[in-house]
Chain A
Amino acid sequence: MRKLTLLLAIMLFSTAQMLAQRTITGTVRDDEGKTLPSATVLVNGDVKYAAQTDLDGKYSIKIPSVGKFLRFSFVGMKSQDIQIGGGNTIDVILESEASQLEGVIVVAYGTTTKKSSTGAVSVIKGIDLVKSSGGITSAIQGTVPGVQVVAGAVRIRGYGSFSASGEPLYVVDGVVGAPYPRDEDIDAFSILKDASSTALYGSRAANGVIIITTKKGRKDMKPTFEFKYTHGITSIIKPDYNYLNADEHFRMIWLGLKNSNPKNATNANVIKQLNGLNPYNMAEPLDANGNLKPEARMLYSTDWRNASIKDGKADAADFSVRGGSANSLYYWSGGYSNWDGFTSADYSRTYKTLFNFSSNLNKAIEVGTNISLSYNEYGSMYTSAANENNLLYVSRVLTPVAPIYQLEKVYDDASKTTWTYKEKLDANGKPIWDWSNPNYKNYNPLAQLEVDPRDGYGYRQYMAPFVNIKIIEGLTFKGNAALSMSTERFRMFQDPRYASGQTENGLSYMWAEHTRSWFTSGALNYIFKIKENNNFNAYVGVERDDYKNNTIDGTRIGYDLGNVTTELSMGVKPKDVNSSTLERGLLSYLTFFKYNYAEKYFLDLSFRRDGSSKFGANKKWGNFWSVGSSWLISEEDFMRSYKWINTLKLRASYGVTGTDAIASYRYGDYYSLGYNYNGKTGIKHDNLPNEDLGWEQNNSFTMGLDFGFWGILQGSIDYYNKDTKDLLMDVRVPYTTGFVTKFMNVGKMNNKGVELLLTVSPLRTGNLKWTSTFTLTHNQNTIKALPQEQILSGTKIYKVGGTLYDFYMREWAGVNPDNGAPLWYKDKKDANGNVIGKETTSSYSDADRYIPGRSTPDAIISLTNAFEYKGFDLSFQLYSSLGGKIYDGEYASMMHDGSSKINQLPTDALNSWKKPGDQSDVPIFILGNTNQSNYLSTRFLTDATFFKLKNLSLGYTLPKQFVSKAKLEIVRFFVTGDNLVILSKFKSGDPERYISGVTDNTSFPNSRTVRLGVNIKF
């Protein structure tokens, strides 16, 4: 293709010359600053007027009178149009496209090219990251095969552990635990998936590694400024279930009373249940059959959910400047973001700045530093557990009969038989919060958002100086130190007049945290050649990671003045004061060795030895290693005849990595404090010690094929097989030992899977460009060994042969049409106790439990299409998770069938069984029922398969000729949308909530975001 273009260009060059008026010269470079030979330069994009750069990237082109702009293009680079101005020199930098085997990628402890990598590594450029509003995890979702992302949780190539975290390791500019940069500061990030690429991170690598590289300056680059502003609106995808209104709920309570005892079903009793609340215009709104009398009118109905939750909005302004001279590079950025969440109490305002600088002191020594500062203020509603303080939960529970503001009756006439309501007003004419709801005495979630502040602020300072010393040709030393310090303060206040605060006449809680993390490393890297084709790279390094965290918190009670000030000094008496310190350390030695022959055969070896404070004396140190190799088949002479094969690379790797993502001090034998009594200190044995506690070990094998055909199709296919042993697990011990669990290394697990990436670029040149990318992820998780036959864990069961996410619950058999009782299945047994089938039972405790499926999908597929036409760019991503189930615990708690008495109900409850013969899937509604009908069962388990338009992004870049007049380089307007369309059987919007597949009112449902923005570069 390149040759054809060249030939064509040369042929036409003579024609162009004839029409030339003047000559423009310049240099074409790539985004690393390297000159690009053989780049094509076209006047007005027309092949009639063409030139090509020489070996030094220089070109010279005669401009015809019709010449308006120059189009620069190069294979693997994005073409660029530049307005022809008054000058005779135009230098350009072409940005690389994410081409398959070109370009530098950042890997563990260095860089490589895709061509020479032996590992399974995916790279996402910063420019693609900012298309979505969800940050790194959202950018990975669907674009990187082999990765499952569910609401921010990332699982690379399956699931690792019972008790340790499954999250990958994040590394920012070579430092684990460095602060996350803003999306705009990210140049690119690499997702390392197999042992060959991750083993150098040893004890923390088993869940994969994500390496983030921030933007740096460039050599000989004039200061380039970039400004970006976005405004976004977020809304919960589907607000919620549909709920009963006040009239429906009132009548439902009547029905519940009738079903418990017909003589209880009176208007007065319903009102009594509702603490005297009556949403109608009269005292006896229902007739003897529970129907609304014609003269009765519902006067109000509260939609607590809608009143509580609003749309959120997000604004962000970002500014950066980057550049460099021959010896120094710099990048400085600052950003402000403001997020208003789904309630008035949820917000965040963040200020961040980053400064990356490096300079060559002489030919041998380069020094530099990365510095970042951030400050964040936030407010956050309580969502930790589904209780009366959690608005997400309470807004689903409060009866619609309870008003938000206090109401008073205005009688229609002297007989006082009918009335209307009006809101009571305070002295300032404002409505007064009502606290009389019958569900939670003295709670009003909306009022609490106002009177009970829950907020905090924090700042973080980070400085990472480094030095690179070139000792001899090819041998360099790199020394790195990173100091991170952060402070946070949080307060929570409970007003003396209402809710929880009432019991202690007001309560204020303050919490402060200081964290210090200190990372140092030193390494020698040697790159050398032996004879023509033997290329080597050897590396040896040492690292030390030291982390310390202190917290202090205090509570005082007795706040007669309310939240005038919430400082602790204001409280009448102290209630509780605590402090704690947490430390951990990691000491590591690592080395790698890379060899390739003629850039065709590649071999990587790596080894790391980690010592961790988290593990017992007998297992403190662990060894991790990998072997990776690849063969670039397409570079072989015998492949030359297959012109349609552009690239073909086979790679394989095997290695051992570990997981240490557990809390500190889990192995020791300790006694815990806090069991005080009678005013004296009391202590208690804390845990069963285990000096053999060590790493969870992952042995993984990967085989992959990278390919490129016909110049338009690229892709890769990977197969992996990961065996995990010594899984970290809180192993249940008999309670008779006095303990619940012992933290141990037990069991075995296997994850194997296939991942596929296909990119087709049917239109790569011309005005219309089109690239389409398809990914497929399939993972099979299998538990291979356990310390006991089966382990129950919440909604799940672990069994050999099963998966980590197998649901285990009673099977719903519907509703008995004769009496409306709930039914479940149980095993039917013959006289000898053999199971011969299933039968139904109306006793929950009598029913048997089964495995009705698992929460994880069978496959994840994604299709991304990107188009460019003139100044327009459009991309959209379709994403689908196939298979898996979700247990809707939120819905279960709401469909209480009367057991939660006067709690609000979804409209589905209206379909409850009413009389013998009724076919319904909702049992009889009895106020105060104890039939356990909404306990854990498949009644609330649904298929979690979904299909979504995950992202849509449309941009328009103003023509160069316009913007250059204003001395600007690029002006781009864009609009992006996330989660715009979702199709699934799940009733409450997006089933993509938790990997565990259980909803529980502890997080906001997923949201849809639409953002508008402008990006200006000059």
Chain B
Amino acid sequence: MKKYNILILASVTVLFSFLASCNKDILDPKPTTKIDVDKVFSSIETITAFRTGLYGQSIYSNQNNIPFLSGEIPIFSEILGNDIVYGYTWYQRMNPSYSYNVDQTSYEPEELWMRTYFLTEACNTLINAQTPPQINENTIKGYKAEALALRAYTYYEISHFFGKAYHLDQGASKAIPYVDVVDYTAKPERNSIKEIYLKAIADLEKAIPDLQTKKNTGPYFMNKNAAYAILARIYMDMQDYTKARDNAQKALIGISPMTREQYKGGLSNANNCNESIFAFETDFDTRAKWRTFTSFHDGWDGMGDDLLVNSSLVDQLGKTDMRRAFIIDEPSYMYYDGHVYNGETYSVEELLDYSFSFNGRGYYKYAKFPRKDASLDGKFVRGSLGYGDYIAIRGTEMRLLIAECDLALGDNIAEAQDILFDVQKRAIPDAVKSTKTGNELRDEIRLETRKEFFAEGHAYKFMKRWGTGLHRDGSHNPNAMLSINETDPRFVWPTPQREKDVNPNLLK
């Protein structure tokens, strides 16, 4: 019996120690859907994936998020203006910004603030990355230049929401921190608008030598033309018309104007638009279809019924203006199917002559941003919801900017008139060349800019640059029928409370 006991005891001990010793590997499992930090900057493939991720983040959306650079920035910019009417459907999330009721706890400033730094952290990481020597230096330089320019673009665009218009105090007022280092413990202070602009200019100038032209990269990646265009925008805000014009001209090198035929097909395919300088592509397979830029302009079953065109702008579009055909009346809502109206298919030209009654709520504008795989002519094909590019910078903006500079500098009024006429006659076959000068010509150029760019995401930027304030009219919601001057504090979104709570330096 004793032997028997010992035998059992021995086997028990063996079993026991087996269990106890050999299994420590279970304490260190690695996730299979993520990549370990050590691998990221070790090969050209992963670095390229990281660079691709910068754009991927810019357009990333899901059930709850609108894409950042290709969604939130242009959409907020429009609903803060006069030419787009917001707030008639269930998607009420942006109501506070539309009615200028944003406070430091509102969703809008916190959301934009947050996503700015998601993206710029990635830019900063790439800019500061140490890469192994065997990797092609020029490729890395190019990627870092893209990151620099994308960072500048992001801070410049976002600064309009959080800062005063530059010309009001020569950029002295504070907006947001221009974070350009990787420091996960930093609590930065806010930079002034002037500092932001100067840092952005420095970033862009540093990037330009290493950037490819749009001709080489295509419109979907940051490129030299885009960097010049951003510089032109910044200098325009700073009212440095010489530099603004100079950079706008550089931005247009190799960029021919979009044709009338291209325009008719809408602005959802940057590759089919000669003048696209920088655009964000949406991959229809993986993106949340409801929240893309295209979806927000898609009255059929996207979010397009949230953003309608104001009647006061539509009233200024002549009957023969092709851009009028981008717009369809709200009461036809229930029948509306792109260019299908009451079951019949109409061409853009036919729609020009179709008279719609206006009921006071605004107009749909699907045809300006149709789905990328839609067909508007011949057999109507609706296409895939939410699938379309967002063209962030296109040549006409630069051309109209040059015209404004010509006028402001007073050295080339004829060019200003020519540019205006070029833009007009593409949309309006019977356009007549303007003979106006001075403020009258300026106002005409600005009106043309509004007609040309409505819903494209620049309204707030133009409004602040032009110093017009906001004087809403037309079909706006009565609660948002605002009239506020450009010095009104409501033009500056507050630093989010949430951010102040964790970074007291922002109170400075």
A interface vs B, CB < 8 Å? Answer: 260-261, 264, 272, 275-276, 364-365, 385, 397, 436, 439-442, 469, 471-472, 477, 479, 502-504, 520-522, 524, 542-544, 546, 574-576, 580-587, 589, 611-613, 620, 664-665, 668-686, 688-689, 732-740, 742, 788-792, 843-846, 849, 899-901, 903, 926, 928-932
B272 to chain A: which residues have CB within 8 Å? Answer: none
Bound Cα distance A584, B33 (Å)? 15
Distance in angstroms from A415 CB to nearest chain B CB is: 26
Determine whether B432 belongs to the interface, using a CB cutoff of 8 Å to chain A. Answer: no
Contacts A477-B12, A479-B15 given; does A930 touch B477 at CB 8 Å: yes
A260 to chain B: which residues have CB within 8 Å? Answer: 478
B20 to chain A: which residues have CB within 8 Å? Answer: 542, 589
B325-346 interface bits toward A, Cβ cutoff 8 Å, 1 = contact, 0 = none: 0000001011000000000000
B378-390 interface bits toward A, Cβ cutoff 8 Å, 1 = contact, 0 = none: 0000001100000
Bound Cα distance A669, B125 (Å)? 14
Bound Cα distance A612, B20 (Å)? 14
Determine whether B473 belongs to the interface, using a CB cutoff of 8 Å to chain A. Answer: no
Q: From residue 86 to 102 of chain B, which have CB atoms closer than 8 A to chain A? A: 87-90, 92, 95-96, 98-99, 101-102
Contacts A471-B5, A736-B188 given; does A542 touch B16 at CB 8 Å: yes
Cβ-defined partner of A930 (8 Å) among B87, B102, B185, B503:
B87
A846 to chain B: which residues have CB within 8 Å? Answer: 103
Q: From residue 1 to 52 of chain B, which have CB atoms closer than 8 A to chain A? A: 4-5, 8-9, 12, 15-16, 19-20, 23-24, 26-37, 40, 46, 48-50, 52
**Across the interface, do A844 and B101 meet the contact criterion of CB distance under 8 Å?**
yes
**Across the interface, do B32 and A503 meet the contact criterion of CB distance under 8 Å?**
no
**Across the interface, do A678 and B32 meet the contact criterion of CB distance under 8 Å?**
no
A679 to chain B: which residues have CB within 8 Å? Answer: 283
Instruction: Considering the complex, give the chain B residue whose CB is closest to the CB of A477.
Output: B12
Instruction: Offer 17 A-B interface pairs, CB within 8 angstroms, sorted by A.
Output: A441-B301, A469-B8, A504-B289, A542-B19, A581-B32, A584-B29, A585-B29, A587-B23, A673-B34, A676-B286, A677-B283, A735-B114, A735-B117, A737-B183, A738-B124, A844-B101, A926-B479
Contacts A580-B32, A673-B34, A680-B48 given; does A732 touch B502 at CB 8 Å: yes
Cβ-defined partner of B33 (8 Å) among A441, A477, A580, A931:
A580
Determine whether B177 belongs to the interface, using a CB cutoff of 8 Å to chain A. Answer: yes
**Across the interface, do A682 and B16 meet the contact criterion of CB distance under 8 Å?**
no
**Across the interface, do B184 and A670 meet the contact criterion of CB distance under 8 Å?**
no
14 extra interface residue pairs, beta carbon distance < 8 Å, beyond A272-B331, A680-B52, A738-B118: A261-B478, A275-B334, A522-B16, A546-B23, A576-B286, A581-B31, A583-B29, A670-B37, A671-B50, A682-B52, A688-B184, A734-B502, A735-B496, A739-B118
Cβ-defined partner of A676 (8 Å) among B52, B87, B333:
B52
Distance in angstroms from A669 CB to nearest chain B CB is: 4
Q: From residue 271 to 292 of chain B, which have CB atoms closer than 8 A to chain A? A: 281, 283, 285-286, 289
A900 to chain B: which residues have CB within 8 Å? Answer: 90, 92
Contacts A677-B56, A683-B46 given; does A930 touch B101 at CB 8 Å: yes
Determine whether B220 belongs to the interface, using a CB cutoff of 8 Å to chain A. Answer: yes
Instruction: Considering the complex, give the chain B residue whose CB is closest to the CB of A557.
Output: B384
**Across the interface, do A681 and B49 meet the contact criterion of CB distance under 8 Å?**
yes
A689 to chain B: which residues have CB within 8 Å? Answer: 37
B29 to chain A: which residues have CB within 8 Å? Answer: 583-585, 613, 664-665
**Across the interface, do B27 and A587 meet the contact criterion of CB distance under 8 Å?**
yes
Kindly specify which of B57-65, B163-171, B398-406 makes contact with the partner chain.
B57-65
Instruction: Considering the complex, give the chain B residue whose CB is closest to the CB of A545.
Output: B26
Cβ-defined partner of B12 (8 Å) among A471, A504, A543:
A471
A521 to chain B: which residues have CB within 8 Å? Answer: 19
**Across the interface, do B289 and A503 meet the contact criterion of CB distance under 8 Å?**
yes
Determine whether B53 belongs to the interface, using a CB cutoff of 8 Å to chain A. Answer: yes
Cβ-defined partner of B63 (8 Å) among A385, A584, A926:
A385
Determine whether B487 belongs to the interface, using a CB cutoff of 8 Å to chain A. Answer: no
**Across the interface, do B118 and A736 meet the contact criterion of CB distance under 8 Å?**
no
Bound Cα distance A742, B28 (Å)? 20
Contacts A676-B283, A792-B498, A845-B101 given; does A683 touch B53 at CB 8 Å: yes
A-B contact count (CB 8 A): 269
Distance in angstroms from B343 CB to nearest chain A CB is: 15
B184 to chain A: which residues have CB within 8 Å? Answer: 688, 733, 737-739, 742
Cβ-defined partner of B121 (8 Å) among A275, A574, A671, A685:
A685
Contacts A681-B52, A845-B106 given; does A576 touch B285 at CB 8 Å: yes
Distance in angstroms from A169 CB to nearest chain B CB is: 19
Bound Cα distance A735, B54 (Å)? 17
Instruction: Considering the complex, give the chain A residue whose CB is closest to the CB of B86.
Output: A930
B205 to chain A: which residues have CB within 8 Å? Answer: none
Q: How many residues of B contact A (CB 8 A)?
A: 95
Distance in angstroms from A219 CB to nearest chain B CB is: 24
Bound Cα distance A846, B498 (Å)? 17
Distance in angstroms from B150 CB to nearest chain A CB is: 12
Distance in angstroms from A818 CB to nearest chain B CB is: 18
The 10 residue pairs across chains A and B that have the minimum distance between CB atoms: A738-B121, A585-B26, A675-B56, A682-B56, A682-B53, A845-B103, A583-B29, A670-B34, A682-B52, A503-B385
B224-235 interface bits toward A, Cβ cutoff 8 Å, 1 = contact, 0 = none: 000000000000
Contacts A542-B20, A670-B35, A845-B106 given; does A737 touch B186 at CB 8 Å: yes
**Across the interface, do B60 and A675 meet the contact criterion of CB distance under 8 Å?**
yes
Instruction: Considering the complex, give the chain B residue whose CB is closest to the CB of A503.
Output: B385
Contacts A503-B385, A613-B26 given; does A471 touch B19 at CB 8 Å: no
**Across the interface, do A677 and B19 meet the contact criterion of CB distance under 8 Å?**
no
B331 to chain A: which residues have CB within 8 Å? Answer: 272
Instruction: Considering the complex, give the chain B residue whose CB is closest to the CB of A261.
Output: B478
Distance in angstroms from A523 CB to nearest chain B CB is: 8
A901 to chain B: which residues have CB within 8 Å? Answer: 88-90
Bound Cα distance A276, B24 (Å)? 69
**Across the interface, do A611 and B27 meet the contact criterion of CB distance under 8 Å?**
yes
Distance in angstroms from A953 CB to nearest chain B CB is: 44
Determine whether B453 belongs to the interface, using a CB cutoff of 8 Å to chain A. Answer: no
Distance in angstroms from A513 CB to nearest chain B CB is: 14
Distance in angstroms from A730 CB to nearest chain B CB is: 12
Bound Cα distance A693, B499 (Å)? 24
Bound Cα distance A44, B144 (Å)? 96
Distance in angstroms from B224 CB to nearest chain A CB is: 18
Instruction: Considering the complex, give the chain B residue whose CB is closest to the CB of A440.
Output: B90
B23 to chain A: which residues have CB within 8 Å? Answer: 544, 546, 585, 587
Contacts A670-B35, A844-B101, A931-B479 given; does A502 touch B186 at CB 8 Å: no
Determine whether B199 belongs to the interface, using a CB cutoff of 8 Å to chain A. Answer: no
Determine whether B417 belongs to the interface, using a CB cutoff of 8 Å to chain A. Answer: no
Determine whether B488 belongs to the interface, using a CB cutoff of 8 Å to chain A. Answer: no
Instruction: Considering the complex, give the chain B residue whose CB is closest to the CB of A900.
Output: B90
B462 to chain A: which residues have CB within 8 Å? Answer: none
B427 to chain A: which residues have CB within 8 Å? Answer: none
**Across the interface, do A668 and B36 meet the contact criterion of CB distance under 8 Å?**
yes
Determine whether B113 belongs to the interface, using a CB cutoff of 8 Å to chain A. Answer: yes
B399-428 interface bits toward A, Cβ cutoff 8 Å, 1 = contact, 0 = none: 000000000000000000000000000000
Instruction: Considering the complex, give the chain A residue whose CB is closest to the CB of B26.
Output: A585
A546 to chain B: which residues have CB within 8 Å? Answer: 23, 26
Contacts A544-B26, A589-B20, A930-B477 given; does A682 touch B96 at CB 8 Å: no
A584 to chain B: which residues have CB within 8 Å? Answer: 29
Cβ-defined partner of A928 (8 Å) among B4, B87, B106, B286:
B87
B32 to chain A: which residues have CB within 8 Å? Answer: 580-581
A669 to chain B: which residues have CB within 8 Å? Answer: 36-37
A436 to chain B: which residues have CB within 8 Å? Answer: 334
Distance in angstroms from B193 CB to nearest chain A CB is: 17
Distance in angstroms from A445 CB to nearest chain B CB is: 15
Determine whether B315 belongs to the interface, using a CB cutoff of 8 Å to chain A. Answer: no
**Across the interface, do A732 and B37 meet the contact criterion of CB distance under 8 Å?**
no
Determine whether B460 belongs to the interface, using a CB cutoff of 8 Å to chain A. Answer: no
Contacts A469-B12, A671-B37, A678-B281 given; does A845 touch B96 at CB 8 Å: yes
Instruction: Considering the complex, give the chain A residue whose CB is closest to the CB of B36.
Output: A670
**Across the interface, do A735 and B31 meet the contact criterion of CB distance under 8 Å?**
no
B384 to chain A: which residues have CB within 8 Å? Answer: 503-504
